[in-house]
Structure 1
Amino acid sequence: MRKFLLLLMFAPLNGRTQLLSSVAKLIETEHYRPKVIDDSFSAALWRRYIEMLDPLKGLFLRSDLETLSTYRFVLDDEIRGERVVAFLPAALRLYRARLSEAVVMDSAILSNPFRYDVDETVRPDGGSLDDFAGSLPVLREARRKMLKYLSLQYLVMQRRTGFESDSLARQKAREWLAADYARLWRDTALSVQMGRYVDVMGRLMDPHTDYFFSGVGSGSPSTVDVALIRSSGRRVGYVSFPEFYGDSLRHCASDVSRALRTLDSARVDGIVFDLRDNHGGSLQEVLRMTGLLIPRGPVVQVRRRSGAPVALSSDADSVVYDGPLAILVNEKTASAAELFTAAIQDYHRGIVIGSRTYGKGTVQRSFPVDSGVLKLTIEQFFRVSGGSTQLAGVTPDVCLPDVYAFQKVREADNAGALGWDTIPPVAYAPGPALYGGAFSPDSVFGVIQRNNTWLGARRDSPVSLDLSVFTAGQDARQAILLQDRDALTLPAGRRLDVMALTPGDRRWVMAAGRDIYINEALRVLEHIREPKS
Structure 2
Amino acid sequence: MKGFPLLRQSCLIALLTLSGTVLSAEQNQALDLDSLQPTRDQVIASLNTVELLRRHHYNRIRLDDALSAQIYDTYIKQLDPQRSLFTQQDIDAFAGNRLRFDDLLKAGDLSVGFAMHKRQLQRVQQRLAFTLDLIDNKLDTLDFSSDQEILVDREDAPWAADEQALEQLWRAQAKDEVLRLKLAGKDMAGIKELLGKRYRGQQIRINQTRSEDLFQSYINAMAQVYDPHTQYLSPENAENFDINMSLSLEGIGAVLQSDNEYTRIVRLVPAGPAQRSQQLATSDKIVGVAQGDDDMVDVVGWRLDEVVKLIRGPKGSPVRLEVIPASNPPGDLTSRIVHLTREAVKLEDQAAKSSIININEQGHDYHIGVIEVPGFYIDFKAYRQGDPEYRSTTRDVRRLLGELSKQNVDGIVLDLRNNGGGSLQEATELTGLFIDQGPTVQVRDSQGQVQQLDDPEAGITYNGPLAVLVNRLSASASEIFAGAMQDYGRALVIGESTFGKGTVQSIQPLNHGELKLTLAKFYRVSGQSTQHRGVVPDISYPSLLDSKEIGESALPHAMPWDTIAPARFRASSQLQPFITQLQKLHEARAAKDPDFIYTLARINLDAEIRAQQTVPLNEAKRKQRQEDYESRLLTLENQRLTARGEEPLTSLENQDPLLDSNHAEDEKDTSEDDAFLVETSHILLDLLQLEHQVATVD
Q: TM-score range by the shorter chain?
A: 0.7 to 0.9
Hey, what does 2:685 align to over in structure 1? Answer: 526
CA 1:12–1:181 in structure 2 vs 1: closer, same or farther (change >3 Å)? closer
Distance 2:645 2:513 in 1: 52
Distance 2:640 2:442 in 1: 36
Greater Cα shift, 296-305 or 426-435: 426-435
Q: Offset at 1:142?
A: 0.9
Contact 1:211 1:372 in 2 (8 A): yes
Instruction: Specify every segment of 5 or more residues in structure 2 that has no aligned partner in the other structure, as ranges.
Output: 1-34, 244-252, 254-344, 382-390, 647-663
Q: Offset at 1:479?
A: 5.0
Q: Offset at 1:226?
A: 2.4
Q: 1:190 aligns with which of 211, 220, 224?
A: 211
Greater Cα shift, 447-456 or 392-401: 447-456
Distance 1:423 1:341 in 2: 18
Task: State the secondary structure of the residue aligned to 2:669.
Answer: helix
Query: Is it true that 1:17 corresponds to 2:17 in the alignment?
Result: no
Task: State the secondary structure of the residue aligned to 1:214.
Answer: helix
Alignment of 1:44-63 (within 5 A): 44-63=70-89
User: What percent of counterpart residues are identical?
Assistant: 28
Q: How many residues align?
A: 506
Which letter does structure 2 place at the counterpart of 1:228?
I
Distance 1:318 1:44 in 2: 51
Contact 1:406 1:459 in 2 (8 A): no
Distance 1:365 1:312 in 2: 18
Contact 1:298 1:384 in 2 (8 A): yes
Contact 2:469 2:495 in 1 (8 A): yes
Hey, what does 1:121 align to over in structure 2? Answer: 149
CA 1:473–1:17 in structure 2 vs 1: closer, same or farther (change >3 Å)? same
Q: Offset at 1:492?
A: 7.6
Greater Cα shift, 329-338 or 366-375: 366-375
Which letter does structure 1 place at the counterpart of 2:370?
Y
Hey, what does 1:6 align to over in structure 2? Answer: none
Query: Is it true that 1:144 corresponds to 2:171 in the alignment?
Result: yes
| TM-score using structure 1 length | 0.87
Hey, what does 2:222 align to over in structure 1? Answer: 201
| TM-score using structure 2 length | 0.67
Hey, what does 2:117 align to over in structure 1? Answer: 92
Q: 2:444 aligns with which of 288, 303, 321?
A: 303
Distance 1:482 1:365 in 2: 48
Distance 2:429 2:480 in 1: 12
Contact 1:152 1:465 in 2 (8 A): yes
Which letter does structure 1 place at the counterpart of 2:130?
M
CA 1:368–1:122 in structure 2 vs 1: closer, same or farther (change >3 Å)? farther
Q: Offset at 1:407?
A: 5.4
Distance 1:31 1:481 in 2: 47
Q: 1:39 aligns with which of 50, 65, 68?
A: 65
Which letter does structure 1 place at the counterpart of 2:200?
A
Query: Is it true that 1:175 corresponds to 2:202 in the alignment?
Result: no
Distance 2:522 2:367 in 1: 36
Contact 1:406 1:456 in 2 (8 A): no
Hey, what does 1:515 align to over in structure 2? Answer: 674
Distance 1:417 1:54 in 2: 21
Hey, what does 1:286 align to over in structure 2? Answer: 427
CA 1:234–1:362 in structure 2 vs 1: closer, same or farther (change >3 Å)? same
Q: 1:216 aligns with which of 227, 240, 254?
A: 240
Contact 1:448 1:484 in 2 (8 A): no
Distance 1:513 1:182 in 2: 51
Q: 1:468 aligns with which of 620, 644, 659?
A: 620
CA 1:356–1:487 in structure 2 vs 1: closer, same or farther (change >3 Å)? farther
Contact 1:274 1:327 in 2 (8 A): yes
Contact 1:360 1:391 in 2 (8 A): yes
Greater Cα shift, 26-35 or 285-294: 26-35
Which letter does structure 1 place at the counterpart of 2:168?
E
Query: Is it true that 1:240 corresponds to 2:376 in the alignment?
Result: no
Query: Is it true that 1:452 corresponds to 2:603 in the alignment?
Result: yes
Greater Cα shift, 309-318 or 64-73: 64-73
CA 1:289–1:509 in structure 2 vs 1: closer, same or farther (change >3 Å)? farther
CA 1:210–1:488 in structure 2 vs 1: closer, same or farther (change >3 Å)? farther
Q: Structure 1, residues 165-193: CA drift from partner, whole Å, max 9, x if none?
A: 3443343333333334444443x211123
Instruction: Specify every segment of 5 or more residues in structure 1 that has no aligned partner in the other structure, as ranges.
Output: 1-8, 159-163, 494-504
Which letter does structure 2 place at the counterpart of 1:223?
A
CA-atom RMSD in angstroms: 2.9
Alignment of 1:239-278 (within 5 A): 239-249=371-381, 250-278=391-419
Distance 1:279 1:465 in 2: 40
Query: Is it true that 1:102 corresponds to 2:127 in the alignment?
Result: yes
Hey, what does 2:541 align to over in structure 1? Answer: 400
CA 1:480–1:369 in structure 2 vs 1: closer, same or farther (change >3 Å)? farther
Contact 2:41 2:512 in 1 (8 A): no
Q: Offset at 1:484?
A: 7.4
Distance 1:178 1:407 in 2: 34
Distance 1:509 1:314 in 2: 39
